[in-house]
Amino acid sequence: MRRTIIAGNWKMHKTTAEAVAFIHEIAPLIQDRADVEVVLCAPYVALYPMRDALAGTTILLGAQDVFWKTKGAYTGQIAPGMLTDVGVSYVIVGHSEMRGRFGVPEPDFDETILRHFGETDASVNRKLKAAFEAGMTPICCVGETISERKAGQTDAIVSDQTTKALEGVPADLAARLVFAYEPVWAIGTGEVCDSDEANRVCGLIRSTVEKLYGADVAAQTRIQYGGSVKPDNAAELLAKEHIDGALVGGASLKPADLAAIVQASPK
């Protein structure tokens, strides 16, 4: 039985005070759903004050990225051990915004200045292994862009990203890993993926894991859907066979919305 995991990805939102206030507001709204794993993936600087605010709740702390080195001259980077030091247990790896795969055109994101944040399948793989090494659980994002979907490449892209992320990862860790299927065109657009199609692609991720590790591991790996998950579409998505949770962006910024998504999880 796979435990439902709802993770909020706050992206570049919330000050430390706002982050702490959020915890105080959401905790009573979800305290009857200890069956659901709830993770808040916050900006780095909010993590430390959040740890204290989370004491006495079942909510877990997550980060949005990690570097794979343990220490050294890597200006601007955060090591895995720095995250576990402040109580982080989950970390998002390979988000499409890190891979430079944007769904919504960004007029001020001049690609000649900053193509993307440099994420590749190889760096995703390294980050994932480093997160495990430090005792965290990675949430590994995969998903196609709209042009890839229109060209009929969805399945090839998703299974390729899944396979490359898992290169050299042993079976016991693959079983613990969380994947997030995030079709890039559904992120921040309000255009949620049809629930049957989301379930189909999540099933494809599971069968990719099965090909690599066998049915036992594939039955344990949890797969979230992400992309315009809202209180009013969460129940339908979360009821699907291969969808074990949600990675929530915009709707995770308001305690009542995220709580409603947690409450929409099947019992």
Return residues touching ligand 13P (CB under 6 A): 9, 95, 182, 187-188, 226-229, 247-251
Residues 6 or more apart from 45 whose CB is under 8 A from it? 16
* Residue 227 to residues 102, 195, 249, 253, Cα–Cα distance (Å): 12, 11, 7, 14
Could you confirm whether 106 is annotated as catalytic? no
| 3-state SS track over 44-109 | HHHHHHHHHHHCCCCCEEEECCCCCCCCCCCCCCCCHHHHHHCCEEEEEECCHHHHCCCCCCCCCC
Q: Which is nearer to ligand 13P, 226 or 245 (CB)?
A: 226
Rounded to whole angstroms, the Cα distance separating 26 from 255 reads 5
User: Of 182 and 244, which CB lies nearer to ligand 13P in the complex structure?
Assistant: 182
Are 255 and 22 in contact by the 8 Å Cβ rule? The answer is yes
**Minimum separation from the CB atom of position 154 to ligand 13P (A):** 17
In the annotation, is 116 catalytic?
no
Tell me how far, at minimum, the Cβ of 188 lies from ligand 13P, in Å.
4
Please report how close the Cβ of residue 261 comes to ligand 13P at its closest, in angstroms: 10
**How many Å apart are CA 249 and CA 7, to the nearest integer?**
9
**By C-beta, is 218 or 238 nearer to ligand 13P?**
238
Instruction: Report how far Cα 32 is from the mean position of its chain's Cα atoms.
Output: 23
| Complex with ligand 13P: residue 36 or 142, whichever CB lies closer | 142
Residue in the shown chain whose Cβ atom is closest to ligand 13P: 249
Residue type, 114: L
200 vs 230, which CB is nearer to ligand 13P? Answer: 230
Out of 37, 97, 119, 182, which one is annotated catalytic?
182
Closest separation between CB of residue 59 and ligand 13P, Å? Answer: 17
CA-to-CA distance for 244 and 164, rounded, in angstroms? 22
What is the rounded end-to-end Cα distance, in angstroms, of the chain? 12
Say which of 37, 95, 97, 119 is annotated catalytic.
95
CB of 136 to ligand 13P, least distance (A): 17
Distances (CA, A) of 234 to 63, 140, 247: 23, 20, 11
Q: What are the residue numbers of the active site?
A: 95, 182
